[in-house]
Structure 1
Amino acid sequence: MCMYQVHVTTGDRLRAGTNDHVFVTLVGTNGESERTELNNYGIDFRPDQVRNLNTQPLGHLLLIKLEISQYFYLPENQWFCSKIVVDTPEGEAVLFPCHRWLTWGEVLELRGAKGLSPSYTSVLHSSLGIFMQWAEYVAEHWKDDAFYGYQFLNGVHPSIIRNCPLMPSNFPVTEEMVQPFLEPGTSLQQEIQKGNLFLCDYKSLEGLQTLVVEGNSMPLTAALCLLYLDTTGTLKPIAIQLGQEPSEKCPIFVPSDPELDWLLVKMFVKNADSVIHQIISHLMNTHLLAEVFAVATMRHFPDVHPLYKLLTPHFRYTLQINTAARVVLLGPTGLVSKSSAGNEGTNELMRRHLAETTYSSLCLPDNIADRGLQNIPNFYYRDDGLKLWTAINRFVWAMLGLYYPTDDEVSGDAELQRWIQDISTRGFLGNRRSGMPESFITVEEVVKFVTMVIFTTSAQHAAVNSGQFDYNSWVPNNPLQLRRAPPTTKGQVTMETILETLPNIGHSVDFIALSSVLHKKYTDSVVLGSYPEERFGEPAAKQIIENFQKELSSIEERIIERNATLHVPYCYLKPSEIENSVSI
């Protein structure tokens, strides 16, 4: 065992109070220390505090994690930390600047002030394997076309891919281009008719204003990616166009092109996918939608209303974290402008998607059908998601049946009608093309809508959030930013081109830290199906909740059994891993 001395400087501002516990974890290239309390309960932090920490040798210190937890029900304090200096057994004093507030439930990851040289890239990667072996798997397989295709179904963003019943006119893929990548004895048209061609289209990114770095606008491509499902059930990309208008400067790339060409264009597709994922599928379609539902619920339902009791547990963190979520999720995408014009790229992208958002796209069974993905094999997001949708729907039917035994109770509930009208007019701007209900006539309509609300704020958020460290911590796999323009001709890409296109080391470290924060859970997280506040006093309601929990346990058992047979398990929709409310 080795001793590390941790020197904490809080300055003269508000320090941790006697009702707080402050913990530190040291992370190095050889492992991490145990989570250790810095202060003693009942003793306030002095401006300078020293704590001896005994642990195994950690190697080169990479970062430290700080967190504060409240002592039972006592009032919460905020804590301002100026810096932390760690004296290592090797005699090195490593400075970790902080200069920020730490609040209860938050985990700060601080990196050493000493800059990382390029030689530390491999060190940084190897150290991250301490946190998640899966990240190492991604780092090893990210170039493989089969794993690349798999991620569009079961990665962190399963929301963009759709069946391709007809090739778009602006994506002129020919038989000659893709024949070598199809099964022998078939044709492109035959495979389209069989339903074996799939498309990822990022047209909504076209022409968006992006962040200017060192005098250059960051590139963002409105890419098109065609994927093929072979007879083994493997999905692979077979054609990519990095723009909406084909030309000599915007060719179609295929797997037989030079290896580095193909690798780079796949990275540009994943960059486009990452931007849509963070801003639309994650931020807008879970966090901000939850905010719409939460505000309308607080505005129109008294706390004795059954829908208030049913829904508020699913808004537990919504209003507290959404401001932070906007900053955390938008910052790295390259669409945030630092000019006085504001976040024009981000705002425009959300405007485009909101105009196209439909009620059916938010309801998983309809969404899967609309995208033509009912029969594609090995689509575990769909399989697990539909089980959860059914369970939630059955739970909502039973619960609302206690209070709305007939359709007349629905049409006569003025508070309910004002609630849905508020969501339709304020949240979806009165867009009738969206199919969003403006009123409720039947119990069935209410049940479907409430099912969508609960699914969105719990399971859907888990699906697009929980895997971010797994898939994003190896930056080339899901790059949130790229620095160089996409290739316009074939055969010109070198490894130097790829390295110059990827984010620099500093930004890469930031992205890894971000993905680490986003996959964390609150220490007081509440899993789907738990209602600890016991808002329902009726025995029948309590029994319905218990039945719901039993059904979720059954789903969990089936997922565990299925995953035991998979080379790459899908765990993001295990009920025990789903929080009741959106969290960062």
Structure 2
Amino acid sequence: MPRFRVMEVLHFTSKMKNTEKGSDRAEDGGEVESVCCEVDEVKKMKIRGRVRLMKKNMLDINDFMASLLDRIGEMLGKRVSLQLISESQSDLGNGIRGKLGKEAYLEKWITTVTSLRGGEAEFPVTFDWDESLGIPGAFIIKNHHHGQFYLRTLTLEDVPGCGTVKFICNSWVYPTHRYKYDRVFFSNKAYLPCQTPAPLQKYREDELVNLRGDGTGELKEWDRIYDYDYYNDLGFPDKGPEYVRQVLGGSKEYPYPRRGRTGRKPTKTDPKSESRLPMLSLDIYVPRDEQFTRTKFSQYLAYSLKSIVQVTLPEILSLWDKTINEFDSLDDINRIYEGGIKLPKVNLLRKVKERIPWTMIKELVRSDGEWLLKFPMPDVIKKHKSAWRTDEEFAREMLAGVNPVVIRRLEEFPPRSKLDPQVYGNQHSHIREHHIEMNMDGLTINKAIDSNKMFILDHHDTLMPYLRRVNSTKTKTYATRTLLFLQADGTLKPLAIELSLPHPQGDRHGCVSRIFMPADEGVEGSVWQLAKAYAAVNDSGFHQLISHWLNTHAVMEPFVIATHRQLSVLHPIYNLLHPHLRDTMHINALARQILINAGGILERTVYPAKYAMEMSAVVYKNWVFTEQALPADLLKRGMAVVDLGSPNGLKLLIEDYPYAVDGLDIWYAIESWVRHYCSFYYPTDDQMLGDTELQSWWSEIRDVGHGDKKHEQWWPKMKAVEELIQCCTTIIWTASAFHAAINFGQYPYAGYLPNRPTVSRQFMPEPGTDEYNELERNPDKMFLKTITAQLQTLLGVSLIEILSRHSSDEVYLGQREDSEDWTRDDEIREMFGRFRDRLFEIERNIVERNEDGRWKNRRGSVDVPYTLLYPNTSDYSRVGGLTGKGIPNSVSM
């Protein structure tokens, strides 16, 4: 191609400027024309591109015809077009948007071999490009097929002045008639709003407007709208009074984080409640790009177990009509892991196949065809079948188990309640010195408190206001307090458990409490095992409803929605946070449909039953965003103190606190990465203050997403870069490490229900009663009759097995889905590499600590190493499954 010399261009430009009307113009006309022709010849060029996409599954019955029509359509003409957009030249006639290149079409659609089940494939595309338009900064894609496809990337080769230009898309593109706007994708270069090239600015703004929607109408699968709503879809009032549930959010009594709007019509019975999908449907709306990958969703079909239970519970119950729905011994429970439970000889397939697809049934069935329920062996009983019953393990799991985020230092004795005495009377603890001092290694209460040796697991105030209602159901339980003593070897020893009930004469009379102390033998030992079980029931419910659901899943969803609504994909903070938002809206939508809804699996297997979600809304009143930061949480619970002499200015009061030790390593690694990243884009506070998208994002999180708490004074003002650093670190910590610590240990510890029972069905036996005599004769049988029943156990274990599994395509902390292509900035990639290297180092440290015999809380008597905060950054095989380790980037399960 001929090249035009610089001096000739300057000469041409000068002559054009000097041209006057009349003869001069005519005189120069021929030269102008010839030069223009040569310029046109110079500027025209070809840019080769490669598009990577995944076609829709042709074997999907709903899309078979669309796939067939698409192939026929390609024979008749090009069906997928792309237009490059200049990032340096504007089109004044198109709202000052970047100039467009000519349309180009995907090539070899038919001849490129792809799996009928769908799969990624690469298609060439050739663009005619005018070199004067500079570098392409975005492109428009139009899908004229009948079906959608997943657009992964567009890569341009040999772009003048740039070389390779990469567009990371990762989005489903539906047929053009589904959109009222063009689908636009931007290159992998981050810009603050004020730094965005002018030709791309309107495209940037338009895209955010499209994602926000107008707040009306029922949303369909091809809609890309992120909007807010209350939790008004948990109940099903049209089905009857038993299925009425409180609307959560929008009131002082029941505040709640917002969830994604679906726009479904209200119920006939209650206009404030949203109608529900059919019970077995998993087709609840979330933006298509927020849905699980095909790999993950296929693995996730085990979630259908929950739907099966809701529809076929009467049929399943009938299979046990010759029993009393009880495990008769611990050996019976062990058989569900060692050999399974053989169902009665009833044709279960015949009974349910009419209503449940075979792929859903087979989770209940052994692959060899026997009708058995069999589960993997939980870690807590793999090496020692009875070590879970020890006091050592009972206490250790408060520091290194599935819910190590509640225990706190005891600062006053007796423990005091914060419940309003005008409503609930005296709710202070009835534990006294004589109950516990004989087990405190010779220390007095005051000395032990002053020496930071007294700790408490306190669920009293959370449960007491609901206890009358909870105990009006099949549940029979207590509000519990557990006192513990820190021993010289760094382990905790239980001192006493307090079981409390509301006063029979009314709430204003306070509570009635019983105190139980440790015992090893006889009926006293059996009573003590029951007392620990009641405490574990409280902790299990709090774990599922508050630590897990509320403090990760629910509180994160507003951050997901606001990020997509207010931060462009070009925004550097969007690029920082996006990996930590993956799948959260989808898992939450599925939970509302089949888990936390009225009559859902959570209500059937966890003790608060129909009051579960309402209780979580009351607890949300005390939620504070800044206290979700790990250092702030440890200080609040008194598990750490400020110590300027320590490397991070924090000293743990229990040195061997595995969750906190590993967690602080992860926290400070995240914080360092976020600090370098944010400081790169915001050298000064003023630049951050002037970022309109960022300020709108934070305002929307506070005022809308968490709107019931918008008047709280603790919200960061987002006026300094340091505030942004702490907020982003907290978001990433919550979505990744915190969620991993409280989710993926569920099956290893709670997969054995006697260790973490979720329900108690009868009160502590009183001396002289038949129940007390039975406890004395057969303590294990009485224990099992008190805790979770057989059917609830099977359902509960099924659920937590699913929740504890990593998908095989999981992306872990320190990894990016698009590897090195997610950003064009070399310095940012280097920063991220240092973050990953630090995580490698943390992994090695965790392994070393777990092997160090000095740290007794890291393995305990059950010999289960603490690996829940092992990042798994170095494991790129992505095997998935019940690994008991690994920190996914997001709340994705």
Report the Cα distance in structure 1 between the residues aligned to 2:467 and 2:564, rounded to whole angstroms. 36
Aligned to 2:558: 292
1:520 aligned onto 2:829: no
Which stretch shows the higher mean deviation, 136-145 or 481-490?
481-490
Q: Secondary structure at the match of 2:404?
A: coil
Judging changes above 3 Å, is the alpha-carbon distance between structure 1 residues 524 and 258 closer, same or farther for their aligned structure 2 residues? same
Q: Deviations over 1:348-394 (max 9, x none)?
A: 32222211112342010111111111221320110111111100000
The 5 Å alignment of 1:175-574 reads 175-184=433-442, 186-202=443-459, 203-208=461-466, 216-243=473-500, 249-256=512-519, 258-326=524-592, 327-328=594-595, 330-331=602-603, 332-337=605-610, 345-373=611-639, 374-429=652-707, 431=709, 435-437=713-715, 439-487=717-765, 493=772, 494=775, 495=779, 496-533=781-818, 534-565=821-852, 567=859, 568-574=864-870
Aligned to 1:174: 432
Judging changes above 3 Å, is the alpha-carbon distance between structure 1 residues 298 and 350 closer, same or farther for their aligned structure 2 residues? same
Alpha-carbon distance, 1:474 to partner: 1.0
- Contact 1:227–1:238 (8 Å) recurs in 2: yes
Judging changes above 3 Å, is the alpha-carbon distance between structure 1 residues 236 and 490 closer, same or farther for their aligned structure 2 residues? farther
Judging changes above 3 Å, is the alpha-carbon distance between structure 1 residues 179 and 16 closer, same or farther for their aligned structure 2 residues? farther
Judging changes above 3 Å, is the alpha-carbon distance between structure 1 residues 131 and 285 closer, same or farther for their aligned structure 2 residues? same
Aligned to 2:227: none
- Contact 2:482–2:494 (8 Å) recurs in 1: yes
Question: What amino acid does structure 2 have at the position aligned with 1:499?
Answer: L
Aligned to 2:212: none
Q: Which structure 2 residue ranges, 5 or more long, are not aligned?
A: 1-59, 66-112, 122-147, 151-279, 283-293, 309-314, 340-373, 417-427, 504-509, 597-601, 640-651, 854-858, 873-885
Question: What amino acid does structure 1 have at the position aligned with 2:479?
Answer: A
Alpha-carbon distance, 1:557 to partner: 1.0
Q: Deviations over 1:490-526 (max 9, x none)?
A: 9964134322212221111111111211111112110
Report the Cα distance in structure 2 between the residues aligned to 1:211 and 1:244, rounded to whole angstroms. 12
Q: Secondary structure at the match of 1:171?
A: coil
Q: Deviations over 1:139-195 (max 9, x none)?
A: 5222111100000111000111000010224113222211221103x2222111111
Report the Cα distance in structure 1 between the residues aligned to 2:890 and 2:384, rounded to whole angstroms. 28
Alpha-carbon distance, 1:404 to partner: 0.5
Report the Cα distance in structure 2 between the residues aligned to 1:314 and 1:300, rounded to whole angstroms. 16
Alpha-carbon distance, 1:487 to partner: 4.9
Alpha-carbon distance, 1:551 to partner: 0.8
Aligned to 1:165: 411
Q: Deviations over 1:529-575 (max 9, x none)?
A: 11223332111111111111111111111111111225441100011
Q: Secondary structure at the match of 2:457?
A: strand
Residue in structure 2 matching 1:108, options 270, 283, 302 = 302
Alpha-carbon distance, 1:15 to partner: 9.0
1:124 aligned onto 2:411: no
- Contact 1:173–1:252 (8 Å) recurs in 2: yes
Report the Cα distance in structure 2 between the residues aligned to 1:235 and 1:422, rounded to whole angstroms. 44
Between the two proteins, what is the percent identity of the paired residues? 28
Report the Cα distance in structure 2 between the residues aligned to 1:308 and 1:233, rounded to whole angstroms. 43
Judging changes above 3 Å, is the alpha-carbon distance between structure 1 residues 245 and 226 closer, same or farther for their aligned structure 2 residues? farther
Judging changes above 3 Å, is the alpha-carbon distance between structure 1 residues 371 and 488 closer, same or farther for their aligned structure 2 residues? farther
- Contact 2:501–2:512 (8 Å) recurs in 1: no
Report the Cα distance in structure 1 between the residues aligned to 2:622 and 2:511, rounded to whole angstroms. 31
Question: What amino acid does structure 2 have at the position aligned with 1:174?
Answer: R
Question: What amino acid does structure 1 have at the position aligned with 2:498?
Answer: Q
Q: Secondary structure at the match of 1:223?
A: strand
Q: Secondary structure at the match of 2:411?
A: coil
Report the Cα distance in structure 2 between the residues aligned to 1:212 and 1:243, rounded to whole angstroms. 14
Report the Cα distance in structure 2 between the residues aligned to 1:100 and 1:354, rounded to whole angstroms. 29
Aligned to 2:888: 579
Q: Secondary structure at the match of 1:513?
A: helix
Q: Deviations over 1:85-133 (max 9, x none)?
A: xxxxxxxxxxxxxx98894341428799765965753421434685444
Judging changes above 3 Å, is the alpha-carbon distance between structure 1 residues 523 and 471 closer, same or farther for their aligned structure 2 residues? same
Aligned to 1:89: none
- CA RMSD in angstroms comes to 3.5
Report the Cα distance in structure 1 between the residues aligned to 2:768 and 2:683, rounded to whole angstroms. 66
Aligned to 2:397: 151
Which stretch shows the higher mean deviation, 239-248 or 158-167?
239-248
Q: Secondary structure at the match of 1:238?
A: strand
Report the Cα distance in structure 2 between the residues aligned to 1:179 and 1:406, rounded to whole angstroms. 57
Question: What amino acid does structure 1 have at the position aligned with 2:795?
Answer: D
Q: Secondary structure at the match of 2:824?
A: coil
Judging changes above 3 Å, is the alpha-carbon distance between structure 1 residues 225 and 149 closer, same or farther for their aligned structure 2 residues? same
Normalised TM-score (structure 2): 0.52
Aligned to 2:289: none
Q: Deviations over 1:456-495 (max 9, x none)?
A: 0000000000100011111111111221134567996413
Q: Deviations over 1:3-22 (max 9, x none)?
A: xxxxxxxxxx959989xxxx
Judging changes above 3 Å, is the alpha-carbon distance between structure 1 residues 376 and 437 closer, same or farther for their aligned structure 2 residues? same
Judging changes above 3 Å, is the alpha-carbon distance between structure 1 residues 407 and 383 closer, same or farther for their aligned structure 2 residues? same
Alpha-carbon distance, 1:418 to partner: 1.7
Q: Deviations over 1:196-229 (max 9, x none)?
A: 111111111123279989x844134321111111
- Contact 2:562–2:705 (8 Å) recurs in 1: no
Report the Cα distance in structure 1 between the residues aligned to 2:722 and 2:768, rounded to whole angstroms. 55
- Contact 2:381–2:388 (8 Å) recurs in 1: no
Q: Deviations over 1:305-349 (max 9, x none)?
A: 111111111111111111223443633223342xxxxxxx23332
Normalised TM-score (structure 1): 0.78
Aligned to 2:82: none
Give the length in aligned residue pairs.
500
- Contact 1:271–1:482 (8 Å) recurs in 2: yes
Judging changes above 3 Å, is the alpha-carbon distance between structure 1 residues 309 and 454 closer, same or farther for their aligned structure 2 residues? same
Q: Secondary structure at the match of 1:457?
A: helix
Report the Cα distance in structure 2 between the residues aligned to 1:490 and 1:396, rounded to whole angstroms. 63
Q: Secondary structure at the match of 2:822?
A: coil
Aligned to 1:340: none
Report the Cα distance in structure 1 between the residues aligned to 2:585 and 2:838, rounded to whole angstroms. 30
Which stretch shows the higher mean deviation, 215-224 or 318-327?
215-224
